[in-house]
Amino acid sequence: MTKSSLSFVRRDMLAPQSAPVTERGAVKWLRENLFSSIGNSVLTILGLLVLFWIVQASLPWLLNGVWQANSLGECRTIIAATAGEGASGACWAMIAQRWNQFMFGFYPKTDYWRPILSFALMFVALTPVLYYGLRRAAMLMVGTVGVLAVLSLALVQTDGWHDALVAAVMLGLFAVAAIMPKKLVWVTLVFPAVGFFLLWGGSVWGPVGTLFGFGIWVAIWLVLQSRLGVVVPAAIGLVAASLWWLVLQTSVTTALHGIAPLGLTAIDSDQFGGFLLAFVIGVTAISASLPIGILLALGRQSDMLLIKTLSVGFIEFVRGVPLITMLFTASLLLQYFLPPRTNFDLILRVIILVSLFASAYIAEVIRGGLAALPRGQYEAADALGLDYWQAQRLIIMPQALKISIPGIVSSFIGLFKDTTLVALVGLADPLQGITKIVRADIAWKGIYWEPFIFVGAIFFLFCFGMSRYSMYLERKLKTDHR
Amino acid sequence: MKKSVFLGTLAATTMLAGFAAAGTLEDVKARGELICGANVALTGFGAPDAEGNYVGFDVDLCKAVAAAVLGDASKVKYVPTTGETRFTALASGEVDVLIRNSTWTYSRDTDLKFDFVAVNYYDGQGFMVKKDLGVSSAKELDGATVCIQTGTTTELNLADFFKANNISYTPVTVGDDSEAQRQYEAGACDAFTTDASGLASNRTAMADPANHIILPEIISKEPLGPVVRHGDNNWGDIVRWTYYALVAAEEKGITKANIDQIAASTTDPEVKRILGLEGDMGAMMGLDAEWAKRAIAASGNYGEIFEANIGAATPIGLARGLNAQWTQGGLQYAPPFR
């Protein structure tokens, strides 16, 4: 090859050029995401128009909002004065005046520290469940909740003594979280009794007696378990505990109360309302429905005909009946079946039926998780020589529950929102019950959107929180490296 | 399944009615508390205030009964009831008396086994329209759209009224009172119909009350009153006569303020009997002599209760109308205390 046949060879590098304007930055993003085709462009423009229309309609209303007034009429006067005649505006003053009813119902104002403390303790009790043994997470959770609890106490103007009490309790728990986070599980175990005592008050010995019954149950189970397996000792323990609860407890606790009359002012159930009620029903039903649901799901898979039939029957019956029917049963029908003049608390009746309702759904969600496990997992558990309960505890449930997390959490979210249905049986839920009561006041009659927006925002906050946590949990438990 | 539950319920109800007949009065006294089925959300009639204390026209009657029976107007437990749960709550014995703007109808009185012992408010269904509609009578509402709550007797009354007058209408059904008001204000309907007392309080709550008028026609009878269970006549008598004591007190000019003074100075034999200064009226119902005096002293006589909760001086501003004393051309008429 001769030299002359050599073509031109560039000796220096071309300076780098930026990408064409349609392939970078905002333009690229817009092109790809909003205007990638004619159809999409049309939809984008329509969407923008709708958005504009919504903002245009609601923004002046939101901006003209009034926070300081004593009645809707006053709100209207203020809006007319500031924004001109005929302008519309939100009357948030109603929330400013009545927020405590949306939060606590008719719970006595001087006792607001009790629901606040039990709400804070609920998060402490949840900590070991959500972040078992994680010191940093536990400290963060308990610390944040403690600070928030003390702040909200200041907000509801609790007296100094109770402020100090709550602060001391939360500090103590923070120390526990810092030194031995695993011990927080004890808070979880006693929380149902503590929460009940704080919210309803009365003698301290009642909840203590109930806890003692569970103590008997666990003690019997632990003693007999090595010899008789899992189920039989649990049944014996249950019988013994029931004997204690039904026959002995009342006389013993009455005697104890006579010796040491400790307790808080008793609060009647009909003073519960607003989000306090939603949380009492929601949290109790959620925590009760998970274990019952697991047992039902296992029962449905069982080889024993009776257990299987009972589980299937229960699940299908409860799932086939709307929640409202259950609520009406709780409020109306049960009254007829109970002996006359028994005053079986309405909230308790509702909680029991809502828990049963939720557990049927949870059972089906968990059954889905169980069904998704390959047969090999069961066989592997058998091959290792594990008995039924060991296999469930160590092999099956951890995997099945992990698969079921999204389903379980969405059941919980649904359940929490369903607590507003209790308005139909005359309980003061935040959405309808309290809103109606507030509207019955002539000062706020005619108010419409504000309570819905306020209550909806709070519901959103909690449901969104639950949903984010479930996504965190899924990521944390993801072990398949897919 | 369904049938057996139903039969069980029926059997239990019958049994319960038997038990309840044993004496509500004794139950209330033993309990030391009157359980009153109340409305939680009716402006002026029954609703908790900002502090959670129940106030209203119906609530004051509960207080009067508690004062008569237990001697203390504050010993009342108000059980919130909804339109659906109220009658079951009464039938199952959950409440002693239902004082919750319940309309006295034939079937409720007979078929549901209740006794409506009195009528403490004569209501009736009316219409509200915007002034610029130019309508002055409900009979001119031909072709109008009407906002109406579903599942109520008002819905049936409305149909009857338009049919009887041979005119047509388009119903706009709404779930509750506040929604009705909202739809009406937004212009979704020309007219808004509900009980006249409700219309009045809705109008007060509007941004421009002067632009709305309540039409003169009242198209239905809604006698509202306290309800007790069938079969316990003595308890029914107590509620009935407590109410009549309030009505009679207004007629005789006995008020909360002057009751002691009148008791000391009166020469009217009937007033003496009402206030327990003569005869043994209370003992006839198993109460003490001063029962009616305490009932009146609790919240005042009928007129005072009316004016304090829903009368012309309140924002609701209802006129006495049918609820005036019979001497003033109304229907409130207490039988003689004799």
Is residue B75 helix, strand or coil?
coil
What pLDDT score does A3 carry? 60
CB contact under 8 A, B88 and A448: no
What phi-psi label fits residue A326: left (phi over 0), alpha (psi between -120 and 50 degrees) or beta?
A: alpha
Q: What pLDDT digit, counting tens, does each position of A82-104 carry?
A: 888 878 889 999 998 888 899 99
User: Which residues face A42 on adjacent strands?
Assistant: none
CB contact under 8 A, B77 and A333: no
| Kind plus residue range of the DSSP H or E element containing A351 | helix A346-372
Distance, in angstroms, between A23 CA and closest chain B CA?
A: 49
DSSP code of A19?
A: P
What pLDDT score does B11 carry? 44
Q: How far is CA B21 from CA A323, B230, B285, B317, in A?
A: 34, 8, 15, 41
Distance, in angstroms, between B243 CA and closest chain A CA?
A: 25
Q: What pLDDT digit, counting tens, does each position of A370-421 carry?
A: 999 998 999 999 999 998 888 998 989 988 988 898 899 999 999 999 999 9
What pLDDT score does A482 carry? 53
Domain range summary for chain A, segments of one domain joined by +: 97-107+270-482
What pLDDT score does B49 carry? 87
Is the pLDDT at B153 greater than 70? The verdict is yes
DSSP code of A91?
A: B
Which amino acid is residue A211, in one-letter code?
L
Average pLDDT over chain B, rounded to whole? Answer: 88
What average pLDDT does range B204-212 have in this prediction?
87
User: Which residues face A428 on adjacent strands?
Assistant: none
Q: CA nearest A174: which of A208, A200, A198, A138?
A: A138
Whether residue A357 contacts residue A324, with contact meaning beta carbons closer than 8 Å, is answered with no
Q: What pLDDT digit, counting tens, does each position of B31-69 carry?
A: 999 999 998 888 899 988 888 889 999 999 999 999 999
Q: How far apart are CA B318 and CA B316, in angstroms?
A: 6
Measured between CB atoms, does B44 come within 8 Å of chain A? yes
- Burial class for A450, CB neighbours closer than 10 Å (0-12, 13-18, 19+): buried
Q: B261-276 burial by CB neighbour count: b if 16+ within 10 A, else e? A: ebbeebeeeebbbbbb
What pLDDT score does B22 carry? 59
Is the pLDDT at B1 greater than 50? The verdict is no
Residues whose CB falls within 8 Å of the CB of residue B194, separated by 6 or more in sequence, listed in order: B125, B126, B148, B149, B154, B177, B180, B202
Q: How distant is the alpha carbon of residue B92 from its chain centre?
A: 21
Q: State the ipTM, two decimals.
A: 0.82
Domain B125-220 falls under CATH 3.40.190.10? yes
Residue from the list A105, A328, A426 with its beta carbon closest to the beta carbon of B81: A426
What pLDDT score does A342 carry? 64
Residue from the list B9, B77, B85 with its beta carbon closest to the beta carbon of A425: B85
DSSP code of A37?
A: S
CB contact under 8 A, B85 and A76: no
Q: How far apart are CA B77 and CA B93, in angstroms?
A: 14
Is the pLDDT at B5 greater than 60? The verdict is no
Q: HSE, CB side, 13 Å, CA atoms: give it for residue A420.
A: 15
Substitution target in B51, B178, B197 with the highest count of A β-carbons within 10 Å is: B178
CB contact under 8 A, B178 and A439: yes
Query: Could you tell me where in chain B the CATH 3.40.190.10 domains are found?
Result: 2-122+223-328, 125-220
Substitution target in A317, A441, A450, A452 with the highest count of B β-carbons within 10 Å is: A441
Domain B2-122+223-328 falls under CATH 3.40.980.10? no
Q: What is the pLDDT along chain A (482 residues), one digit of tens a residue?
A: 556 666 788 888 888 888 888 888 888 888 888 888 999 999 999 999 999 999 998 898 888 888 898 888 899 889 988 888 878 889 999 998 888 899 999 898 888 999 999 999 999 998 888 887 788 888 888 999 999 998 988 888 878 888 889 999 999 999 988 888 888 888 888 999 999 999 998 888 888 888 888 998 889 888 888 887 778 888 888 898 888 888 888 888 888 888 888 888 888 888 899 999 999 999 999 889 999 999 999 999 888 999 999 999 999 999 999 999 988 888 877 777 776 656 678 888 899 899 999 999 999 999 999 999 998 999 999 999 998 888 998 989 988 988 898 899 999 999 999 999 998 888 889 988 899 889 888 888 888 889 999 999 999 999 999 899 888 888 888 776 55
Q: How far apart are CA A459 and CA B293, in angstroms?
A: 50
Is residue B86 helix, strand or coil?
helix
| Kind plus residue range of the DSSP H or E element containing A417 | helix A397-418
Q: What are the chain B neighbours of A332 within 8 Å (beta carbons)?
A: 85, 88-89, 92
- Burial class for A386, CB neighbours closer than 10 Å (0-12, 13-18, 19+): middle
What pLDDT score does A280 carry? 93
Is the pLDDT at B183 greater than 50? The verdict is yes
Whether residue A281 contacts residue A354, with contact meaning beta carbons closer than 8 Å, is answered with yes
Substitution target in B43, B86, B199, B316 with the highest count of A β-carbons within 10 Å is: B43
- Name the CATH superfamily for A97-107+270-482: MetI-like (1.10.3720.10)
Is the pLDDT at B4 greater than 80? The verdict is no
Is residue B177 helix, strand or coil?
helix
Is the pLDDT at B240 greater than 90? The verdict is yes
Q: What are the chain B neighbours of A270 within 8 Å (beta carbons)?
A: 77-80
Is residue B42 helix, strand or coil?
strand
Poorest-pLDDT segment among A219-233, B2-16, B219-233: B2-16
What pLDDT score does A202 carry? 85
**Helix axis angle, A205-228 to A231-243, nearest 10°:** 150
Q: CA nearest B177: which of B156, B189, B190, B194?
A: B194
| Kind plus residue range of the DSSP H or E element containing A314 | helix A305-319
Q: How far apart are CA A362 and CA A39, in angstroms?
A: 42
